[in-house]
């Protein structure tokens, strides 16, 4: 069985992210990095039922969703999204206040969850993954998934969410949404994405290009964010975002972690309203 409400919330979050002009990432205004909007739509459709599988462990949701997405696209389109959204779905599955329930879910992650997540990560094979001295995802884990993520938290912002109780999702993403008031939905997504890009080095950019380039991207995002009036209509809001988007894609820079955190924020917002 699966939860229709959680499935719908996941699908809505994924599609809303694609509708916004997220600099450097794939969206309906501009594709890139060898991927199209259709790839992400197919991946969202494939992953949604597995993310929403009622009573399933987090690791099982992750592995099934990544396998379904990879079978649909033959690409790593949504590993980060799935890693972030599976615990949120499990928390919503249990009922109660979402952040409190999420803390209980994260505390309960075990070695079985780690094994399933490691298999999913190995299948997706994200760019720049490399090897780790301890608890490498290419090896059999001997610790629970939250503990494994804590070991990677310093170098990976998605892993940090597991260790911190999704501090960035609440403290940056949902806080930005709350501050935007009556801005149109597309502007809200763009603002959240740029808030993440401005706040920290994007893990995906760091893995592929190093910290110096990642810091340059963060600084550029911060400068662009100061120029955008989020209450303005798209024709006034989009020119600086479109120029930044084209510049990043011309350099092959894909701030994928910021996009993944944006989807997680939208998903958490949807679940919190249930």
> Judging by beta carbons within 10 Å of its beta carbon (0-12, 13-18, 19+), is residue 169 exposed, middle or buried?
buried
What 8-state DSSP symbol labels residue 169? I
- Could you tell me the residue range of the domain that residue 164 belongs to? 4-181+260-272
Q: What is the CATH number of the domain that holds 74?
A: 1.10.4200
CB within 8 Å of 136: residues ≥ 6 apart: none
The whole-number pLDDT of residue 211 equals: 97
135 pLDDT higher than 50: no
Give the number of other CB atoms < 10 A from CB of residue 201: 21
Q: Is residue 254 part of a domain?
A: no
Q: Is residue 126 part of a domain?
A: yes
**What sign results for the dihedral spanned by CA atoms 70, 75, 81, 87?**
positive
Q: Is residue 90 part of a domain?
A: yes
Q: How many domains does the chain have?
A: 1
Q: Is residue 44 part of a domain?
A: yes
Answer for the pair 77, 39: CB distance below 8 angstroms, yes or no. Answer: yes
pLDDT tens-digit profile of 58-68? Answer: 999 999 999 99
Q: Is residue 140 part of a domain?
A: yes
Quote the distance between the C-alpha of residue 138 and its chain's center: 22
Q: Is residue 210 part of a domain?
A: no
Q: Is residue 63 part of a domain?
A: yes
pLDDT tens-digit profile of 218-271? Answer: 999 999 999 999 999 999 999 999 999 999 999 999 999 999 999 999 999 999
Q: Is residue 26 part of a domain?
A: yes
């Amino acid at each position: 069985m699966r939860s229709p409400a959680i499935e719908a919330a996941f699908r809505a979050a994924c599609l809303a992210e694609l509708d916004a002009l997220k600099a450097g990432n794939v969206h309906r205004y501009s594709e890139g990095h060898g991927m199209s909007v259709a790839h992400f739509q197919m991946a969202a459709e494939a992953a949604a039922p597995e993310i929403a599988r009622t009573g399933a462990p987090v690791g099982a949701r992750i592995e099934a969703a990544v396998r379904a997405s990879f079978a649909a696209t033959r690409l790593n389109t949504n590993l980060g999204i799935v890693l972030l959204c599976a615990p949120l779905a499990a928390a919503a599955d249990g009922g109660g206040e979402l952040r409190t329930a999420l803390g209980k879910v994260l505390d309960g992650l075990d070695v079985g969850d780690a094994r399933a997540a490691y298999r999913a990560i190995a299948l997706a094979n994200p760019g720049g993954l490399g090897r780790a001295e301890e608890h490498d995802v290419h090896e059999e884990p001997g610790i629970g998934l939250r503990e494994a993520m804590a070991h990677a938290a310093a170098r990976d912002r998605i892993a940090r969410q597991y260790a911190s109780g999704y501090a960035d999702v609440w403290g940056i993403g949902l806080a930005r949404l709350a501050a935007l008031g009556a801005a149109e939905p597309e502007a809200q997504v763009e603002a959240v994405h740029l808030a993440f890009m401005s706040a920290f080095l994007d893990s995906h950019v760091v893995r592929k290009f190093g910290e110096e380039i990642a810091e340059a991207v963060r600084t550029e995002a911060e400068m662009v964010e100061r120029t955008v009036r989020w209450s303005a209509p798209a024709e006034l809001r989009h020119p600086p975002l479109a120029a930044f988007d084209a510049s990043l894609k011309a350099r092959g820079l894909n701030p994928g972690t910021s996009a993944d955190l944006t989807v997680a924020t939208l998903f958490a917002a949807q679940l919190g309203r249930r």
